Structure 1
Amino acid sequence: MDIQWRKSSRSSNADGSNCLELAEHDGQILMRESDTPDVVIHTTRTQLRAFLDGAKQGDFDDLA
């Protein structure tokens, strides 16, 4: 399976760990943490969009 993982340009850890990575494969959005790459969450574009919209509105600011 040739998956091209992408991470945020704001990921600043020198060794590449502690980053969330996203990819698209077979119509699904995949998410993983760079330091535990074997654990992959599958979601849809619609669900990811809802999450990102909420994050942009500050819905999760208290968790960061």
Structure 2
Amino acid sequence: MAEKIVLATHNAGKIREFKSILEPLGYEAVSVHDVIADITEPEETGKTFAENALLKASYYMKAT
């Protein structure tokens, strides 16, 4: 069984791109909505793109 990587995105294009990269390496890439269908997005309270990316990554990691 392939290890599963949960992608914290709704963007179908990004999901397809990650799947095409990760699946040949033995990983199953799934959207966070495939794991928790009704999950809400965290509020982006960071001052920079990087801070918001870390906030979202931590939020989805804890949720899944």
Instruction: Output the TM-score relative to the length of structure 1.
Output: 0.28
Query: Which of the two has greater helix per residue?
Result: 2
Query: Which of the two has greater strand per residue?
Result: 1
Q: Which has the higher contact order (CA 8 A, sep 6+)?
A: 2
Instruction: Output the TM-score relative to the length of structure 2.
Output: 0.28
